[in-house]
Homo-oligomer: A and B are copies of this chain.
Amino acid sequence: MSNPTAAMLVIGDEILSGRTRDSNMHHLANALTAHGIDLCEVRVVSDKPAAIEAAVRALSDAYDHVFTSGGIGPTHDDITAENVARAFGVSIGLRDDARAVLQAHYDRQGIELNEARLRMARIPEGATLIDNPVSAAPGFTLRNVHVMAGVPAIFEAMVAGVLPELTGGAPVQSRNMTVSKGEGDIAGPLTELAARFPELSFGSYPAMKDGRFSVNIVIRGQDEARLDAAMDALRGAVQA
């Protein structure tokens, strides 16, 4: 009954320094939710070999799937592939099919497949390639780890290619309602409802606009009838 689990690993100093605002996490979270896979944890680590290797190993052990973002380009700071290989103790080397994809792409553009670009054809032993319809350089899946690019357009295209191959559970549905009350006013009724519908999850998200608080209450679960019943009960409880 329970859905497959997943973690995301974002690799990149640029996120941690504040230079870049990550958007891949939000995209993947929505895509996984729609596919019936539960995103349970996200880690952001720097471009350091030990940090990448340790995070890949920990997340791969703990979850059904791991999705990584970033660090698979041609420059010296693109070290994801070799450290994913290291995490699993497999070798990495130039692979003919990846090289052919790059060669065809750069030939079409009249650009040289130089040494730096060739690095993008280095793939860990035993991996399958993930298609990159945007700029050719492939991602790959090794065991339960899906290694993808950090550039959002490429990341999103790779996610769209990978997800249909993965078995999802029942998509999690949600209902939500915004109440112009403080969280402290609806906390009591919400606790009672959460106890009455233990198979659903109840979230309460305060927001502030023009100095006034409101709360968005979100009920999530896989059974639509129960969701509707909980929503009715919530309406009765908080609008009384």
Residues of A within 8 A of B (CB): 10, 13-22, 25-26, 29-33, 38-47, 51, 73-77, 111, 114-117, 119, 134-135, 151, 153-154, 172, 174, 182-188, 190-191, 194, 201-208, 213, 218, 220
| A10 to B32 CA separation, bound complex (whole angstroms) | 19
Please name the residue on chain B nearest to A151 by beta carbon: B206
Please determine whether B174 and A218 come into contact, CB atoms closer than 8 angstroms.
no
Interface centre among A47, A77, A202 (most CB of B within 10 A): A77
Classify the interface of chain A: helix, strand, loop or mixed: mixed
Contact of A76 among B39, B77, B194 (CB under 8 A): B194
Please name the residue on chain B nearest to A48 by beta carbon: B40
Interface centre among A76, A111, A204 (most CB of B within 10 A): A76
| A182 to B13 CA separation, bound complex (whole angstroms) | 20
| A224 to B55 CA separation, bound complex (whole angstroms) | 33
Please determine whether B40 and A17 come into contact, CB atoms closer than 8 angstroms.
no
Please determine whether B25 and A44 come into contact, CB atoms closer than 8 angstroms.
yes
Please determine whether A76 and B151 come into contact, CB atoms closer than 8 angstroms.
no
Please determine whether B187 and A75 come into contact, CB atoms closer than 8 angstroms.
yes
Please determine whether A191 and B18 come into contact, CB atoms closer than 8 angstroms.
no
Extra A-B contacts (15), CB below 8 Å, given A117-B184, A154-B208: A13-B201, A13-B203, A16-B40, A16-B42, A17-B33, A22-B26, A25-B44, A41-B44, A75-B204, A76-B202, A77-B204, A111-B182, A116-B191, A117-B182, A151-B208
